[in-house]
Amino acid sequence: MGLLRVMMPPKLQLLALLAFAVAMFFLENQIQKLEESRGKLERAIARHEVREIEQRHTQDGLRERDSAAALLSNSEDDMVIIYNRVPKTASTSFTNIAYDLCGKNHYHVLHINTTKNNPVMSIQDQVRFVKNVTEWREMKPAFYHGHVSFLDFTKFGVKRKPIYINVIRDPIERLVSYYYFLRFGDDYRPGLRRRKQGDKKTFDECVSAGGSDCAPEKLWLQIPFFCGHYSECWNVGSQWALEQAKYNLVNEYMLVGVTEELEDFVMMLEAALPRFFKGATELYKTGKKSHLRKTSEKKPPTKESIAKLQQSAIWKMENEFYEFALEQFQFVRAHAVREKDGELYLLAQNFFYEKIYPKN
């Protein structure tokens, strides 16, 4: 360059410097444009990646939502209810509602019929029953009912337990009803011959004579039905059995109603388990089958007969259990139902969610 400056005239040297400066300016301008283009390209790529991530998140969210919905649907379709019904507590009347609704609501009803109506199963039958209830997919969802005492499914390693429900009754009223039922039957199957048919002795006469069919020991039934398959449950007058029955009622049963307030029981079941009981309340009010099954020739006991039974320790324990169940039922009802102008109304949902994080 120094040699060129010596050899070139001054004017040419100036033109060369100007040309070099213009070339450098043009080159820098092109480099700047390339940098700007690269920046735009990088931002476009980044926006595209963000959109892809958002789309993936949206798709994942939809899949999760669909999976959750499918899981809920599968959960409802896998549901099993066990109603281990106590004799003479309006159990047939309530079960008829389940039979009337099973076709409409798409579930199965299965009657557990044990030999000689024995409420205690052998250990091998317990295993068979638990296996049927949990693995018999063709019969799910299912409503099982029968005169069987409570069975603890957790003892058999079952992950998902069935839902237990039941209804109980004032112990003396239940015994009186059962006493006459064995002699005269009821209006459900009037032609069926009963075990004590032909015995015309009234309940009062039985109590006065100290008969076995009306003895205080016959009151011992609702406690062992809730207590379960433990030997102590069936020891008449066992305090342990009473406490175990209370424990099971609170911890193992979703809802236990009382015969005297059966409509409230039906209404709350419909609200809690519509998969099974949608339409149950209206059916109970209007359906012919839902009206209480009536024992024929039943005569109310005298105050003297009632007082004599109430002197026994067995009645006191069974009555304590009944009042415990009644108090629990009324507590649940008070938080679920309101009465207005003689009609019952379910309370609307009264919880909601807020402060949900993280924010998307």
Q: If DSSP codes are grouped into helix, strand and coil, which group holds residue 123?
A: helix
d(CA 243, CA 233): 10
Q: How many domains does the chain have?
A: 1
For residue 27 the two structure tokens come to 């080159």
**Which residue among the candidates 48, 57, 106, 145 is catalytic per the annotation?**
145
d(CA 338, CA 314): 35
Residue 55 lies in a domain: no
Instruction: Answer whether 0.85 is exceeded by the pTM.
Output: no
Q: If DSSP codes are grouped into helix, strand and coil, which group holds residue 343?
A: strand
- Of the ranges 169-173, 337-341, 346-350, which is most confident? 169-173
Q: Look up 108 and say whether it is catalytic.
A: no
Residue 32 lies in a domain: no
Confidence class for position 7, pLDDT limits 50, 70, 90: low
Residue 29 lies in a domain: no
d(CA 202, CA 291): 26
For residue 16 the two structure tokens come to 């060369």
Residue 83 lies in a domain: yes
Residue 8 lies in a domain: no
Q: What is the mean pLDDT of residues 69-92?
A: 83
Residue 18 lies in a domain: no
pLDDT at residue 239 tops 60: yes
Cβ atoms of 139 and 107 closer than 8 Å:
no
List the domain range (segments joined by +) for residue 293: 75-342
The mean-pLDDT minimum among 71-75, 159-163, 235-239, 355-359 falls in 71-75
pLDDT at residue 67 tops 90: no
Task: Give me the CATH number covering residue 225.
Answer: 3.40.50.300
Residue 359 lies in a domain: no
For 243-280, how does the pLDDT look when each residue is reduced to its tens digit (9 = 90+)? 999 999 999 999 999 999 999 999 999 999 999 999 99
**Which residue among the candidates 147, 229, 291, 335 is catalytic per the annotation?**
147
The mean-pLDDT minimum among 144-153, 178-187, 218-227, 257-266 falls in 178-187
Residue 139 lies in a domain: yes
Q: Look up 57 and say whether it is catalytic.
A: no
For 180-219, how does the pLDDT look when each residue is reduced to its tens digit (9 = 90+)? 988 887 655 554 444 565 578 999 999 999 999 999 999 9
Which segments of 106-146 does DSSP mark as H helices, in order? Answer: 123-135
